[in-house]
Amino acid sequence: MIDKTLQILQRVYGSDFPDLGDLVYLLSLDDEGSKRQLYRFADDVRRKYCGDGILLRGIVEFSSYCRNTCRYCGLQKNNTTLQRYRLTAQQVLDAVDKIYGAGIRTVVLQSGEDEQMDPQWLADIVAQIRKRYNSEMAVTLSAGEWDRAVYKLWKDAGADRYLLKIETSDSDFYAKFHPGMSFENRVRCLVDLAELGYQVGSGSLVGLAGQTMEILAKDIQFFKKHNFDMLGIGLFIPHGQTDLKDSRRGDLETTIKMLAVTRIVMKDTHLPATTATGSISEYDHRIDAMAAGGNVIMPNFTPDDYKELYEIYPNKRCVKEKNFDPVKPIVAMAEKLGRYVELSRGDSLKCRNIR
């Protein structure tokens, strides 16, 4: 008789739409043997669908201004102690040059929801990157919720991809952490982005107080329904200047299980080991995420003078170091895992929206 965990792993892997009870069962595994079984299964699915390459995306955090009020995030507008910055177009382009020089072929331009930012300003930056590198360099944006017309402007300027995490797919739970924001609008953004031809990344935040395994299981069903090209599974880290400062940090194991189950359900979706996972201790736990289904890492190329100020959560990995080479530790990690760093654009493995 095959054991129950293996049976459920195979059923989830083989089904077109995963059963909620099966997902909850896998997310709730807590003996070491079964967890190892889950991680190994996810690692096999990753190898089969994505290969052994670890894809890199160089991230530039170009503005820390934000009009939003996400309760967990240090950039939220109610945090009046944070020194805000916005890079100049030249600073962004210089950072992109560094990314290109490091051999990386995807740039991610990320920011808070900066309402003072002129969408045309960002469109011009995208167009300049496109002009300078043709289609050698993929451009990903992650600047929050905007009108469809703005997303179209950026797409027409040459953007390839967009990252916007749903954070949680449960609308009531979403409302608790996003006062004054709209779950429906966030979903609208994700739908618009896909319709406009972006490769779309979403994902969720693991470890918010009151989040149940069932809520996380529903997130995975939401991922499947929208067939995202990339999914970031982050771990919540309390920020001292937010009203969640006394909340417990997200649990690492739950985060890794969430990533592993997402891999088994989504198969070829790109799954990064998020920086938050690597920021909870001296030991870089991104390696655990890479061993349980992850295939992407996003090294930080925000200029030294600013990277510490993009404080979504405290103690972000490596933001204090100057002239730090963010690729070096990833090469070492790849070696440890018996894998390699892949310097390609790393487009979506789903057939839609590939240039």
Q: Interface mask (CB under 6 A) for ligand SAH, residues 32-71, using x and -?
A: ----------------------------------------
Question: Which residue type sits at 220?
Answer: I
In this chain, which of 12, 38, 73, 291 binds ligand SAH, going by CB under 6 A?
A: 73
In sequence order, the 6+-apart residues with CB closer than 8 A to the CB of 157 are 123, 124, 126, 127, 130
Q: Which is nearer to ligand SAH, 12 or 122 (CB)?
A: 122
Find the shortest distance in angstroms from Cβ 311 to ligand SAH: 9
Residues 6+ apart with CB under 8 A from 25: 8
Cβ 57 to ligand SAH shortest distance, Å: 13
If one asks whether residue 110 binds ligand SAH (CB under 6 A), the answer comes out as yes
> How many C-beta atoms surround the C-beta of residue 236 within 10 A?
25
Closest CB 326 distance from ligand SAH, rounded Å: 17
Mark the segment that binds ligand SAH (CB under 6 A) among 12-20, 22-30, 109-117, 324-332: 109-117
Q: 207's torsion region: left (phi>0), alpha (psi -120 to 50) or beta?
A: left
Nearer to ligand SAH, 34 or 204 (CB): 204
Beta bridge partners of 200: 162
Q: Does 164 bind ligand SAH (CB under 6 A)?
A: yes
List beta partners, residue 63: 86, 111
Query: For tokens 């944006």, what's the residue?
Result: 141
The CB-of-97 to ligand SAH minimum distance in angstroms stands at 23
Say whether residue 241 binds ligand SAH (CB under 6 A): no
Residue 144 contacts ligand SAH per CB under 6 A? yes
Instruction: Identify which of 21, 77, 1 has the alpha carbon closest to the alpha carbon of residue 11.
Output: 21
Q: How far is the CB of 76 from ligand SAH (least distance, A)?
A: 9
Distance separating alpha carbons of residues 210 and 218, to the nearest angstrom: 14
- 69 contacts 228 by C-beta, under 8 angstroms: no
Residues that bind ligand SAH (CB under 6 A): 72-73, 110, 112-113, 142, 144, 164-165, 167, 205, 234, 236-237, 239, 276, 312-313
